Amino acid sequence: MSQKSVCVYCGSRNGANNAYSEAAQQFGTLLAHEGWRLVYGAGDVGLMGEVARAAQSAGGETFGVIPVHLVRREVGKTDLTHFVITETMHERKKVMIMNADAVVVLPGGTGSLDELFEALTWRQLGLHDKPILIVNVGGYWNALHALLDQVIGQGFADASLADFVSWVDDAEAAMSVLREKLG
């Protein structure tokens, strides 16, 4: 059986609630303890840095992907197991999802939303069938959940869209769902 890899989308900032950093650290540690590889945006700042450092500290493998124009801005973390520099953001997203068995979204900003919506759209179009989990730390993603419900309710997406996303409240619940979905 090959090693599982989980793509994590999260903020390049830590956010206003310490619970976000704690969730990122816990998730990185849990991934490593499970023997699964972290695939993420290769930054050493914000929640990205938190999840990667936690995975590394727990002995986990890391696969970071960063576009050349963000290497300095997001402080490209070059001590990863694999460090990939792409030309564009689009290439970054493609390399990340193609090297993962599942997608997990921790709190983040517009970049995390962009990544999530691309992964969700690709799933909706049948381009992949990877599980997508949203870790709703402290209710951070409540408005997003309501928005997706509205998109479905107003007829702009099939009800099956809701089945493509698993909503969990914390890192441990995310790992539990991943274990079930990835086997």
Q: Report the distance separating Cα 7 and Cα 128, nearest Å.
A: 14
The Cα–Cα gap between 12 and 121 comes to 23
DSSP 107: S
Single pTM value for the model: 0.97
**Cα of 69 vs its chain's centroid, Å:** 21
d(CA 62, CA 5): 9
Q: What residue ranges define each of the domains in the chain, with the CATH number in brackets?
A: 5-182 (3.40.50.450)
The 10s digit of each residue's pLDDT in 138-163 is 999 999 999 999 999 999 999 999 99
Q: Each residue of 85-98: pLDDT tens digit?
A: 999 999 999 999 99
For residue 116, give the nearest of 101, 133, 138, 136 by alpha carbon.
133
* pLDDT (tens digit per residue) in 67-124: 999 988 888 999 999 999 999 999 999 999 999 999 999 999 999 999 999 999 999 9
